[in-house]
Every structure is written in C-alpha cells, then in structure tokens.
C-alpha cells in the first residue's frame, strides 16, 4: 500500500540520545528545517504524492525518551532546546509543524498567544529550571487566529465587545490584542489611504496584519522577560504559521505558495517602532490590486519585464 508517511522513529539498534543543540543559531536552523519538512509532507498530502520505499518525512525520536535502557523507575531529564509560546488552536500542532519529537520543545499554548501571568510564569520556569538546554524562545502566531479575529470584529463593531455571550475571561483576551489591532489599522490606513476601511478585503487584511503585530508585540515582551532573567545567550524569535501553506514565516503573505526559502523565524523586535514598520509591510503585501505570486510567475513566463514585489521596497503609491 502506498501511503504518505510522517514518521516518528526510534532505532533500537542505535538507541543514542540526541545531542543538545549547540547554540541559538543551530536551534533556529533545526526549527526552520523541521518546518520545511512538515510543509513538504503537507504538500504531499494535498497533491496525493505518495511515499515510495523509505519514508521521506522522518523525525528521529530521542533514545532516552522512548527506549534507551535505564534504571527501572528512573525519569528522564527534561532537556528541550526551545521554548515555544503559541496559540491553543487545534490546527497548529507545535511539535509536528517544527519537525520535533519527544523532549525537544517546552510548549506553552494559550488562545491568541497572549502573555498573561500564568504564561509568563511558565516561561520564567523554563528559563530558570531548564537553562542548561534552552537555546531559543519562540513566539508563534498563526494565520486566521480566532482570538485575533474576535478582537478585530470588536474593534470594527464595539458593541460586540459588550455582548452577553462574551464572558469577562474571554473579554480579557480580546483586550490584550486591541493594541495590535489598532497598530495594524493605522498601517493599513497609511498604505491604502483614508478610505481603507471601505475597501474590499479590509477586514481580512486587518486580521492577518493584526496576527503579525500581535505576535511581534508578544515577542518583544518575551525579549524583555529573557533580558530581565539575564539569559543573554538565549535568542528570542517569532513567526506566524501560515495554515494555508503550513510554513512559519515573517512577514506572511497568505496567498504565497509553499517554497522552502519562505520559511523564516525573525529576531524579536528591539524597539516598539518596529511594530508600525511591520504593519506597513503587511499592508503593502495585502493591498488590493497587488499582483499575486502566481500572477507574477505567469507574467515572467510570458516574458514580461520587471520583478516580483519585494516587501522591503516602499510601495510607490505610499512614498
């Protein structure tokens, strides 16, 4: 039977433990390479490209966790190389989408990936108790986030915020996201023009931009937390999981087809001014009338002059 396999593998003939990740850069590469593998697998599932012979998508399990002999009753040492703070959304399986297995990631999940006291306390626990192995802290958002969508809808229709169906606990999550929504709206208005709110696709663009800004702002706060703990050797990264192509990127083009070079975990912002710059960048990507990647490729194939839009270039209509 031909199948499309994603394998967690332990080799009893070679039950060695995974070596600790050397440094922050090696940890970043491990996460990005794992996401490339996962997105390849998801693309195979989508296109019905079956695995022939040896499965192509294999996560090596840590021998200490699944089969290496040790004294009966002895517990393995917890040694994750990354802390990942992400959303509780069931479509975002953290270890799987980063191509990691047992004891590789210390995962904290909360709706909207907001940083409440319990979440930050969990990060502090990892920084203090697992500092021997932690190399990076990652803030992970995802496209189409329900919590961010709720904050956007409350921003556009404030009465929804006070609906009886919204509990105080849920309202507290929405409040934590409002600043990101406002920053996103300002960036879109400055790029699209004063009538942006009345343009087609505004709500969808506001959601996707707010997802990125919310993730960036949380990463900034995590950087401050890491610095307060004087863990200078630990890098703070952030990215958004595009649930359409299953890649972790920053910035994120929702219409972008899967491509290995798009996978990118960015370094956490060091200055709040970077939030507005990211909002403008996302607004340029999502601006109505901008050529989509497939249209750019088709244009190039037909011999058209010019090049694909670089999101780092200023939008000529906003300069």
Would residue 319 count as lying in a domain? no
Contact 261, 290 (CB under 8 A): no
Would residue 311 count as lying in a domain? no
The 3 state secondary structure assigned to the chain is CCECCEEEECCCCCCCCCCCCCCHHHHHHHHHHHHHHHHHHHHHHHHCCCECCCCCEEEECCHHHHCCCCCCCCCCCCCCCEEEEECCCCCCCHHHHCCCCCCCEEEEECHHHCCCHHHHHHHHHHHHHCCCCCCEEEEEEECCCHHHHHHHHHHHCHHHHHCCCCCHHHHHHHHHHHHHHHHHHHHHHHHHCCCHHHCCCHHHHHHHHHHHHHHHHHHHHHHHHHHHCCCCCCEEEEEEEECCCCEEECCCCCCCCCCHHHCCCEECCCCCHHHHHHHHHHHHHHCCCCCCHHHHHHHHHCCCCCCCCCCCCCCCCCC
Binding residues: 87, 89, 142, 145
Distances, alpha carbon 230 to alpha carbons 87, 115, 127, 131, 235, in Å: 26, 19, 10, 11, 12
Task: Determine the pLDDT at residue 102.
Answer: 85
Burial letters 145-171, b for 16+ CB under 10 A, else e = bebbbbbbbbbeeeeebeeeeeeeeee
Contact 136, 23 (CB under 8 A): no
CATH of the domain at 174: 3.40.1050.10
Would residue 100 count as lying in a domain? yes
- pLDDT mean by block of 10 residues, the chain; 319 residues: 78 74 94 94 85 73 65 76 96 94 93 95 94 95 96 93 87 95 98 96 97 98 92 95 95 91 96 96 92 47 39 39
Task: Determine the pLDDT at residue 20.
Answer: 81
Q: How far apart are the C-alpha atoms of 217 and 223, rounded to whole Å?
A: 10
Total length of the chain:
319
Q: Could you tell me which of 190, 180, 182 has the C-alpha nearest to residue 283?
A: 190
* Residue written as token pair 């190389």: 81
Cα-flanking dihedrals φ and ψ of residue 218, to 5°? -65, -35
Binding residues for Zn(2+): 87, 89, 142, 145
What total number of domains does the chain contain?
Answer: 1
Distances, alpha carbon 274 to alpha carbons 85, 86, 166, 228, 231, in Å: 20, 21, 32, 21, 23
Would residue 307 count as lying in a domain? no
Would residue 69 count as lying in a domain? yes
Would residue 306 count as lying in a domain? no
Task: Determine the pLDDT at residue 205.
Answer: 97
Would residue 24 count as lying in a domain? yes
Q: How far apart are the C-alpha atoms of 163 and 154, rounded to whole Å?
A: 10
Q: How far apart are the C-alpha atoms of 304 and 197, rounded to whole Å?
A: 33
Which structural domain range is residue 246 located in?
A: 6-295
Contact 64, 103 (CB under 8 A): yes
Q: How far apart are the C-alpha atoms of 144 and 182, rounded to whole Å?
A: 17
Asked if residue 251 has a cis previous peptide bond (ω within 30° of 0), the answer is: yes
Would residue 85 count as lying in a domain? yes
């Amino acid at each position: 039977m031909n199948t499309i396999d994603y394998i967690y593998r332990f080799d009893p003939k070679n039950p060695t433990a995974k070596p600790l990740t050397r440094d922050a850069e090696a940890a970043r590469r491990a996460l990005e390479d794992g996401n490339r593998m996962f997105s390849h697998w998801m693309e195979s599932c989508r296109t019905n490209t079956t695995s022939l012979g040896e499965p192509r998508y294999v996560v090596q399990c840590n021998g200490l966790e699944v089969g290496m002999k040790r004294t009966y009753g002895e517990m393995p040492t917890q040694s994750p190389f990354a802390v990942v703070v992400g959303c509780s959304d069931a479509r975002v399986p953290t270890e799987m989408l980063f191509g990691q297995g047992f004891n590789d990631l210390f995962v904290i999940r909360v709706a909207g990936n907001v940083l409440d006291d319990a979440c930050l306390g969990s990060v502090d626990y990892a920084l203090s108790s697992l500092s021997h192995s932690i190399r990076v802290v990652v803030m992970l958002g995802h496209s189409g986030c329900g919590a961010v969508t709720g904050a956007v809808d409350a921003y556009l229709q404030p009465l929804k915020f006070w609906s009886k169906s919204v509990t105080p606990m849920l309202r507290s999550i929405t409040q934590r996201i409002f600043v990101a929504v406002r920053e996103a709206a300002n960036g879109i208005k400055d790029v699209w023009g004063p009538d942006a709110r009345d343009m087609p696709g505004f709500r969808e663009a506001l959601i996707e931009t707010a997802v990125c800004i919310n993730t960036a702002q949380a990463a900034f706060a995590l950087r401050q937390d890491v610095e307060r703990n004087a863990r200078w050797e630990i890098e703070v990264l952030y990215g958004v999981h595009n649930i359409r192509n299953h890649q972790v990127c920053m910035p994120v083009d929702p219409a972008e087809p899967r491509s290995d070079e798009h996978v990118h975990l960015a370094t956490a912002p060091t200055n709040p001014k970077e939030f507005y710059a990211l909002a403008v960048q996302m607004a340029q990507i999502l601006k109505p009338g901008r050529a989509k990647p497939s249209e750019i490729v088709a244009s190039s194939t037909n011999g058209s002059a010019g090049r694909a839009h670089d999101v780092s270039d200023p939008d000529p209509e906003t300069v």
